[in-house]
Structure 1
């Protein structure tokens, strides 16, 4: 009963329903299988009697699409937690156990849940890793661009005040853009010319984050051959380092979860100018040791004044992304 009520209709992920272009039959099959895998993971999470049962079901998904199933599971668990006002109890339990190696995807899935829920049900940011919580915004941005394409892509709507966590509203909009950029790889049907034309239609100040998201999607999901990836890198121009940073994140997520596929390696070689393993290692080596906690009161504490970041402050997550982009540029393989 719970699974039937909470699981979205699989037709919502077809290219025909979404109105996305079809590059070719292979790209269509890939993108629709990604959507099916996401919804399968969602259904496993909300329909299983326990977290261990959900994991057993998730592990049956083929390696290429397993990460998307865990992303869907992240959404499903977060929806259940938020509806129960449990402050992500199940989700955090999953992240501390079997879901740990898929933590990047699960955090993105939490963002999907928040996009579907009223704000009064959103969880406290204090319950999440202060570094990775920005992947929640990425998931939110992907959802909005994927399901509200006209507004977020063609009308280029930008969240005016995304105050979760409070104090970083300016950067939150950028993190949402990273998710929108990831969605553009799907909205454009993995067609490099279409995708880059969409990005280049946005205001110049937003393009670096959009290209970062596209680099992540092009590497993680795939759908482009070597010549297409080289054209993507060429068209990114001055934003090639950000494109590479997104690609490196994808390589790290794949390697951490043990799901590296040939298309991930190819994309890393082209977009990062190095191997997927070296790109992933760079992500780990440049990761901040002790990121700042998210501002705001700790759940259960007595409300009172809290230290707020300076206007326009950027979190450690952005420092991390910049280090990766700069390091990839220093390799000599990525030039703006």
Structure 2
């Protein structure tokens, strides 16, 4: 059951379901069954946040999340992680809700949970950010892919303050996430790219035009965000999806890079929807199993620099596989994965 304090927090911090619809946000997307499916994604995040901020314990939250259909449950975990991150921050960073969630039932959804941490960051002062990332044990993503929290922060800012971050194309200030402040704006832009997929209702021509309005130096990161969103969230007919690589032009490898991370996250969570399979083929010329192998074979978890943390080295290695077209996988890759 909800608590009185939890209900007050929910009322103060949570947008209504109507507030995240494209019409309410003023997005130029045309209403359609596809846009309604896309709108259901931020609504699932809100439901997860409300449950997380309201429930008395993790057991109750787990029972609620079990009711969500497989395609949407990761987004509900995003919202729940956002709520727990806010609650932990209110305890001076000493709370353990987020850690316990991601070391427990949230483990299959860690990539999306990072994004939920980013949503919380958008509502917390920067001085509290240094303690928002919990220690996660036994995850192949931690802490390398915790940059998805910064991605989530960028998505949130672009979605809820579109004028500033999309129309005016403002740039965020660096922050020493993982001791790499110079990379922070790039990860932020990757989230902005994801948001463009939603803002323009998964219409490739409009999304490409929006990317092209940004400075050339920012477009590679934006296109990788488009690749991740279009693969993970869907919302676009297969024939239109197939136009994205040509629209991305010189950045088609970054588009494929985003696709690979999305496929890996879906596969790790144990549910790969049909639209993700279609995107793997359309954006990279590979199947789901091949995309997962690419992600695994290129993984980097150490080394790097202020401008190129391990996460970016991993991304660059994936992109390089697609620079000359469909990647050639190492001999025995599928046998290794099956073991």
TM over 0.5, yes or no?
yes
Aligned match of 2:169 in 143, 150, 156? 156
Matched, 1:236 2:248: yes
* Equivalent-residue separation in structure 1 for 2:95 and 2:324 (angstroms): 40
- Deviation, 1:125, is 6.6
Structure 1 SS opposite 2:144: coil
Contact 1:131/1:316 (<8 A) preserved: yes
Distance 1:123 1:87 in 2: 12
- Aligned pair partner of 2:206 in 179, 183, 194: 194
- The 2-side partners of 1:12 and 1:126 are apart by 28
1:99 is displaced (CA, Å) by: 0.8
From 271, 280, 284, the counterpart of 1:272: 284
Distance 1:127 1:5, change over 3 A: closer
Deviations 1:150-179 (A, max 9, x none): 11001000113233344x222110000000
Residues 212 and 242, structure 1, Cα contact 8 Å, conserved in 2: yes
Q: After the TM superposition, which parts of structure 1 deviate over 4 Å for at least 4 consecutive aligned residues?
A: 125-128
Distance 2:193 2:51 in 1: 28
Is contact 1:125-1:133 (8 Å) kept?
no
Aligned residue in 2 for 1:143: 156
Residue 302 of structure 2, aligned match among 287, 291, 303: 291
SS at match of 1:132: helix
Other-structure match for 1:130: 143
Displacement of 1:142 after TM fit? Answer: 0.2
Deviation at 1:261, TM superposition (A): 0.5
Instruction: Report the Cα offset of residue 24 of structure 1.
Output: 4.2
Q: In structure 1, what is the Cα distance between the partners aligned to 2:312 and 2:199?
A: 25
Residue 120 (structure 1) shift: 2.4
1:5 counterpart = 2:9 = yes
Name the CA shift for 1:147/1:165 in 2 (closer, same or farther; >3 Å).
same
Q: 1:221 to 1:231 in 2, by over 3 A?
A: same
Secondary structure of 1:157's counterpart equals coil
Aligned to 1:57: 64
Preserved CA contact (<8 Å) 1:138 1:178: yes
Structure 1: gaps (5+ residues): 293-308
* 1:318-333 map, 5 Å: 318-329=312-323, 332=326
Q: How many residues are matched? A: 315
Partners of 1:220 and 1:251 within 8 A in 2? yes
User: Which of 88, 91, 110 is the aligned partner of 1:84?
Assistant: 91
Does the Cα contact within 8 Å between 2:9 and 2:53 map onto a contact in 1?
no
Q: Secondary structure at the residue paired with 2:106? A: helix
Q: Which residue does the alignment assign to 2:267?
A: 255
Encode CA deviations 1:287-336: one digit per residue, 9 max, x unaligned: 12x435xxxxxxxxxxxxxxxx86x53100000011111123456369xx
Higher relative contact order (CA 8 A, sep 6+): 1
Structure 1 pair 126/257, CA: closer, same or farther in 2 (3 Å)?
A: closer
Which ranges of structure 2 fall in alignment gaps of 5 or more residues? 136-141, 329-339
Change (3 A) 1:318 1:88: farther
Q: Deviations over 1:39-93 (max 9, x none)?
A: 1111121222222221221121112211111111111111111111234521111
**Which residue does the alignment assign to 1:295?**
none
